[in-house]
Amino acid sequence: WWHDDIGEGFAHSGLLYSHIMTPSLSIGLSDYFNMTISQTLGIRTMDYKGDNYTPHHRDEHSSSSFLNAIGGLLGDTRFMLRYLALNDGWVGNHFFAGIGFVMPSKNRLTKSPFEYTLDEDGNKVFDEHRHFSMSEGTYQWMIDLQYYKKSTPPIIFWGVSSSISHPFKESPEGFLSPTRINLTFNLLTQKIKLLNASLGLTLAYEYSGDSKWNGEIAPNSKGEVFSPGLGLTWRSKNQSEYSLNLVLPQTLTGDLAEIESEPDQTLKSFQLSFGIRKTFDYIVPFLD
C-alpha cells in the first residue's frame, strides 16, 4: 500500500501481512440441521517502508499490545446453525439456510485511531495509534443462504452463497462494526488428468458499510470489493480433501481504512490459502 502526504511532508508506504488459520468443526445434529463452530487465529504484521517518524505507522504486529490495542493471536469465534431446506440426493439441488452469531475476543482496538487535537496553528495532531487487530470487538448476528448443485462431469459442482452480518451493539470501547454483505459463486470441475486435481473458480463480491467510533463514522470504512480466484482440489481415499487457492481482491469503491484523509493512494493485495477438509465416520452418542 501507498498513500500521499497527509500533512507531514512525506508519503507513506508499506506491506501488511495477515497469516490466518481458521479451524472449523461441523456436527450433524439431525438429517436436517448441522452446527458449525469456527475460530480465527493468526497474526497481522505491518512492515512500514519509511525512515521518517509518523504516529500513523511503524513496524509492528497484532500479537503485541500497543497504546490503543490489546495484542494476541485469538480472533473471533463464529457459531452457525444451518437447516437443509432442499435435498435432491447425491446429484441434484441443495439449499441451506443458516443463522448464527460472532463472539469477539479481547484482542481488539481500545481507542479510536482517528482521534486528534489541534495545535496553535489549527493543524491536526495525532497520538501514536494502531489501525488493525485480530478482532473487531463486537458481537454480531449472521444470516447465511447457500444453494448448490451437484452435477455430472465436466462440471461436478456449482453454487451460490450469500451472507449478511450486523453488530448487535458497539464494543465497550465505542467501536461499531459495519454491516457486511457477501455474495459468492463457486464452480468445481471433475479431476483433470494434466493437473491431477479438480479446478475451481471463485467469484466473490463483498460490501462493507460504514463503521463508527463513538457514534462518528470512521473515515474510509465504507467500500466494495470484487475477488476473483482460482484453485486446485485434491481428494484422498481416506475421506480427506485438500485445496490450494489464489484470490486477487479488487477494490471497486472505498479507500484505505488505514489513513485519516483522502490523498492519492495505491493498494495491491492477494490472498493465498491452503485448506484441509476431513469427514469423520463418528456418531456423537447423545445425537444418535
Q: What is the pLDDT of residues 223-267, one digit of tens each?
A: 999 999 999 999 988 889 999 999 999 988 875 443 333 445 677
Local confidence band at 215 (pLDDT 50, 70, 90 cut-offs): very high
Separation between Cα atoms, residue 104 and residue 137, nearest integer Å: 5
Q: What is the pLDDT of residues 109-147, one digit of tens each?
A: 999 998 989 888 888 888 999 989 999 999 999 999 999
Q: What sign does the dihedral 206-210-213-219 (CA atoms) show?
A: positive
DSSP 168: S
Q: What is the pLDDT of residues 5-41, one digit of tens each?
A: 667 777 778 899 999 999 999 999 999 999 999 999 9
Of the candidates 240, 239, 242, 248, the one whose C-alpha atom is nearest the C-alpha of residue 269 is 248
Note the pLDDT of residue 165.
98
Residue 160 pLDDT exceeds 60: yes
What residues pair up with 20 in beta bridges, in sequence order?
Answer: 42
pTM here? 0.88
Residue type, 137: G
**10 Å Cβ neighbour count for 13?**
15
Of the candidates 207, 220, 211, the one whose C-alpha atom is nearest the C-alpha of residue 175 is 211
Q: Write out the three cell numbers for 211.
A: 463503521
Contacts of 149 (CB under 8 A, 6+ apart): 92, 93, 94, 157, 158, 159
Mean pLDDT (whole number) for 98-107:
98
Percent of the chain with pLDDT over 70: 94
Separation between Cα atoms, residue 48 and residue 56, nearest integer Å: 10
Of the candidates 101, 100, 107, 123, the one whose C-alpha atom is nearest the C-alpha of residue 62 is 107
